[in-house]
Structure 1
Amino acid sequence: MSISVSRRALMGAVAAIGLVAGMVPALAADPIKLRISTPAVDSDWHAKMLPVFKQELEKSAPGQFDVEIHLNGTLFKQGTEPAAMQRGNLEMAMISAFDIAKQVPEWSIFTAGYLIRDPEHQAKVFDGEIGREMYKLVEDKMGIKILSVGYLGTREVNLRTDKEIKTPADLAGVKLRMPGSDTWLFLGKALGANPLPLAFGEIYTALQTGAIDGQDNPLPTVRATKFYEVTKQIVMTDHLVDSIFLALAGSSWNKLDDKQKTAVMNAAKAAVKFNNDNRIKEEGELQAFFKSQGLKVYKPDLDAFRTHVQKAYLDSEWSKTWPKGMVDRINATK
């Protein structure tokens, strides 16, 4: 009798455990970790947009993601993020066309000066058929999913020297810092300067000591990093309408279900909109700010720069890798 009762009690306990287990919600699974690496400083808009991404994702997919934001190149140095994502050592990053062009030569078209006209043109190019085609190349050849494109600003030449710059010839011998890839260095050379590769985090000190004569970045970045403290002029060359691509490792993207993919894409778009709106507004106010700090701010002969830079690209090996007819398609995008 005692054996029968014990067996009955045991069966009841097992059933109770099963009932409780069935009541545990599916969300008890560990959240998906998304570490984002960027060289951006915390005062720059493309750093400030990352908490927006995190907040939007938490709203639409509560408890499903654990987003970590790593600024100032503390997790991975600038330019090394794509390889880290491909190795499975990093989930997310903000990467440039220059980073992509190292592995997908067709993308060097987006590193060329004086091609994308302004932020509106940039959005139309990448949000349309051209963007879909070029994003697919990245996914197929690099295993990286581009979520959205952000406006990184229009790049200008920022110098510690007094010499007035009117044409590319005036930049001869000027040590202009550029990121350390062939595509970046070619742009610096096309502008007429002597390009030197240097990590982003080293620019301020190099300007201060004279190791470099100048650097090129959008105006909001010049203010955020305080480069204006160690420079004397900004030459408004408008040579590159720069882009930043919020991207996810393909291995991480493929693990998401459809609802999670939608949530990630929508969060990326919200973050990019925050960046774009604020960056465009700030850019319109900054010339006056830099003048108030004692810098000369002026436009050179833009036709001379445009002609010189475009000829340098069309005569180079880079243009041979560009998809046939793509320049005309980009120019025709209105």
Structure 2
Amino acid sequence: MISQHSLRRRTLLGAAAALGASALPGLAQTKTVLRISTPAVPGDWHAKMWTVFKDSLEKSAPGEFDVRINLNASLFKQGTESVAMARGNLELATISAFDIAKLVPEFSVFTAGYVIRDPAQQQKIFNGPIGAELFKTVTEKMDITPLATAYLGTRQLNLREVRKVRTPADLKGIKLRMPGSKEWLFLGEALGATATPLAFGEVYLGLKTGTIDAQDNPLPSVRAAKLYEVTKQIVMTSHLVDGLFIAISNKSFNALNPSQKQKVKAAAQAAAAYNNENRIKEESRLVEFFKKEGLQVTTPDVEAFRKSVQAAYQNSDYAKVWPKGLLDRINATQ
């Protein structure tokens, strides 16, 4: 037999549980929604890093955020994210230096060849006073706040036939495939080659048939597109160390309290660090992979390339929008 006291107690507990359950939807609605848009595919480190971001926030601010990751450009098309964030239609995304340079012209210095030497210097630049100054301008002009810098890759030359390449002069007459924009073609010419615009999807056949003599891409792209099947040499020019910037809408960021802002920034930095570490490891392993595939991997006089390419930019219209002394400050960052 159940006593009257026990029955009453169970009734009260049941009522309390029901009340708690009915309150759960209300609690869920108080979470701050953070939608992420990225063109990255699931296997890419740039996709995986967002899971690190989500996990980091869940650990530092349990129950405070509802992080929603949208891969494959399924939420916003690549290149449209910054506008969406500025309008308050999107919370977080990664944006390129090219995207930023459209509204902050001085940022175009980071689309030029041999401005950043390696991933380590990249982090020092953007985590130091140069980054702070430029990011402040980005925040003011674009209504977004950069939180961390994710390494995208270092572009190398990939040649159809073996050639001794020490300086830019050794690339004279080489038909080097570059993306079709004037900025990319300028870089190709600055490297000493004859820049030839060609869609990425046509590069494999172009190399196979001899329409082009060379192409440039980060090593992971060379493997993914199987370009090592139709080339015989990789020249480690390291002519463009590229990055993506994890950014948040000002509208979203300003709605957070100081503690939440700090936690979101820390989560972004943890995500970038995860990406950077793994992408650098992948690139280093790929050198051995290409050697095993029969390619010669050579290193030219990188300093000779750097001086020649930087001189070409400094004498161009591109450099006219760079703040005086900025390139010198970047070069001095060790």
User: With structure 2 as the length reference, what TM-score do the two structures score?
Assistant: 0.80
8 Å contact kept, 2:176–2:188:
no
In structure 2, relative to structure 1, the CA distance for the partners of 1:251 and 1:228 (3 Å cut) is farther
CA–CA separation in structure 2 for the residues paired with 1:175 and 1:80? 29
After TM superposition, the structure 1 = structure 2 runs for residues 36-115 of structure 1, keeping only pairs within 5 Å, are 36-115=36-115
Cα shift at 1:226: 4.6
Aligned amino acid, residue 149 of structure 1: T
Segments of 5+ residues of structure 1 without an aligned counterpart are 1-19
Q: Deviations over 1:39-95 (max 9, x none)?
A: 333333222212111111122223333333333444444333323323434322212
Identity %: 56
1:293 aligns with 2:299: no
Q: Residue in 1 aligned with 2:236?
A: 236
In structure 2, relative to structure 1, the CA distance for the partners of 1:88 and 1:31 (3 Å cut) is same
1:207 aligns with 2:203: yes
Q: Secondary structure at the match of 1:78?
A: coil
After TM superposition, the structure 1 = structure 2 runs for residues 124-143 of structure 1, keeping only pairs within 5 Å, are 124-143=124-143
CA–CA separation in structure 2 for the residues paired with 1:117 and 1:29? 46
Cα shift at 1:267: 0.6
CA–CA separation in structure 1 for the residues paired with 2:258 and 2:225? 39
Aligned amino acid, residue 96 of structure 1: S
In structure 2, relative to structure 1, the CA distance for the partners of 1:168 and 1:328 (3 Å cut) is closer
In structure 2, relative to structure 1, the CA distance for the partners of 1:30 and 1:323 (3 Å cut) is same
- The root-mean-square deviation of aligned C-alpha atoms, in Å, is 2.9
Q: Residue in 1 aligned with 2:161?
A: 162
CA–CA separation in structure 1 for the residues paired with 2:226 and 2:41? 11
Of stretches 128-137 and 272-281 in structure 1, the one that deviates more from structure 2 is 272-281
Cα shift at 1:110: 1.6
8 Å contact kept, 1:158–1:233:
yes
Q: Residue in 2 aligned with 1:248?
A: 248
Cα shift at 1:332: 2.2
Aligned amino acid, residue 92 of structure 1: L
Aligned amino acid, residue 197 of structure 2: L
Q: Secondary structure at the match of 1:284?
A: helix
Moved over 6 A (4+): none
User: With structure 1 as the length reference, what TM-score do the two structures score?
Assistant: 0.80
Q: How many residues align?
A: 308
Q: Residue in 2 aligned with 1:5?
A: none
8 Å contact kept, 2:177–2:203:
no
8 Å contact kept, 1:165–1:171:
no
8 Å contact kept, 1:37–1:92:
yes
Q: Secondary structure at the match of 1:41?
A: coil
CA–CA separation in structure 2 for the residues paired with 1:106 and 1:332? 18
Q: Secondary structure at the match of 2:150?
A: strand
Q: Deviations over 1:86-134 (max 9, x none)?
A: 3434322212212211211111112221122222222221111111101
In structure 2, relative to structure 1, the CA distance for the partners of 1:302 and 1:329 (3 Å cut) is closer
Aligned amino acid, residue 206 of structure 2: G
1:32 aligns with 2:28: no
In structure 2, relative to structure 1, the CA distance for the partners of 1:290 and 1:163 (3 Å cut) is closer
In structure 2, relative to structure 1, the CA distance for the partners of 1:196 and 1:87 (3 Å cut) is farther
Q: Residue in 2 aligned with 1:326?
A: 326
Cα shift at 1:164: 2.7
Segments of 5+ residues of structure 2 without an aligned counterpart are 1-18
Q: Deviations over 1:159-204 (max 9, x none)?
A: 4x226362445264625232x6554443233223425375xxxx3x
CA–CA separation in structure 2 for the residues paired with 1:233 and 1:39? 30
8 Å contact kept, 2:147–2:265:
yes
Of stretches 183-192 and 114-123 in structure 1, the one that deviates more from structure 2 is 183-192
